[in-house]
Amino acid sequence: MASAHSLCSYHPHASYNSKTHFNSFKTGSFPSITSFKPHGSSSFHKKIQSSTTFLIRATASDSKSGGKQVEVVYNFEDKLNKLADEVDRDAGISRLTLFSPCKINVFLRITGKRADGYHELASLFHVVSLGDKLKFSLSPSKSKDGLSTNAPGVPLDESNLIIKALNLFRKKTGIDNYFWVHLDKKVPTGAGLGGGSSNAATALWAANQFSGCVASEKDLLEWSSEIGSDISFFFSHGAAYCTGRGEVVEDIPSPIPLDLPMVLIKPQEACPTAEVYKRLRLDQTSVVDPLFLLEKISKNGISQDVCVNDLEFPAFEVLPSLKRLKQRIAAA
């Protein structure tokens, strides 16, 4: 992994509000473990969802016959939400702004190498509240998507996973919508945080919304494995035990408190995943059963002994400064 993922339960210089989403590496600001489920709707529908629930109750009984009391409940919010659904269906969506969270690997075991050249892994993935913002709008073009970003060095052509995801959606559905997309990048690249994979999942989900939800989330999850191993995870509920190449996703209840502060440390240099895997020696990886790690975390929470990372030493070879950085942290 290219970054040091450190979880802590206390920091003396920062207070933490579990309702706050941090999206930058500012002093005193810490991303947190969070739950996640892709979500989007029209602004009208969002207002209805955030309003107070009003219930009108009426009761009636027959005292002469001794009949049972009957209660009738009229849910005003439910009626408004149904009306909002009808408005959304009739009006369609013209633009969407979506949060695209990154993830950490609480532990990462590499358990073997497959015949197709990929490695088998077993890992506990969890999203955190650090993420990018993606803005989508329909393009009048019938041949090309447009992509812009605030982050220098991010490719804007078809090598970008956002464009790959939109091309994949058109291929699978036959729908020829094209988009303008702006990526407001907060997640550092080359950090092992899955920022690009999350962007791809968000793009698939957005394209489906613009197209009237012609595909199920199960479809999107299965399709996503064609362009990346980690993308499938971002269709989970936010915590998942991932196996295979990472595309086999098993949702689990979050074993970590959602208000747990976390420190992410990313060196300026990138640590290419392909180079790390080239340095991996399976005879030097951990032998601990990943299911044992998962069970221990579920019972006892996070501790240093469960944060196993089989790619740590290969990453140190690729980027020696990463090893020195960890040593400095441990000595602090």
| Torsion region of 79: left, alpha or beta (phi above 0 gives left; psi -120 to 50 gives alpha) | alpha
Catalytic residue among 103, 164, 185, 186: 103
CB-neighbour burial class of residue 26 (10 A; exposed 0-12, middle 13-18, buried 19+): exposed
The two structure tokens encoding residue 273? 């995943």
CB-neighbour burial class of residue 309 (10 A; exposed 0-12, middle 13-18, buried 19+): buried
- Catalytic residue at 88? no
Closest CA to 49 of 76, 81, 75, 79: 81
Distance of alpha carbon 144 from alpha carbon 7, whole angstroms: 42
- Catalytic residue at 230? yes
Query: Phi and psi (nearest 5°) for 291?
Result: -70, -30
Which residues, 6 or more positions from 164, have their beta carbon under 8 angstroms from its beta carbon? 158, 200, 227
User: What is the DSSP secondary-structure string of 121-133?
Assistant: EEEEEEEEEEEEE
The two structure tokens encoding residue 300? 């006892």
Catalytic residue among 186, 230, 266, 310: 230
Distance of alpha carbon 245 from alpha carbon 114, whole angstroms: 9
Distance of alpha carbon 234 from alpha carbon 3, whole angstroms: 20
Give catalytic residue positions: 103, 230
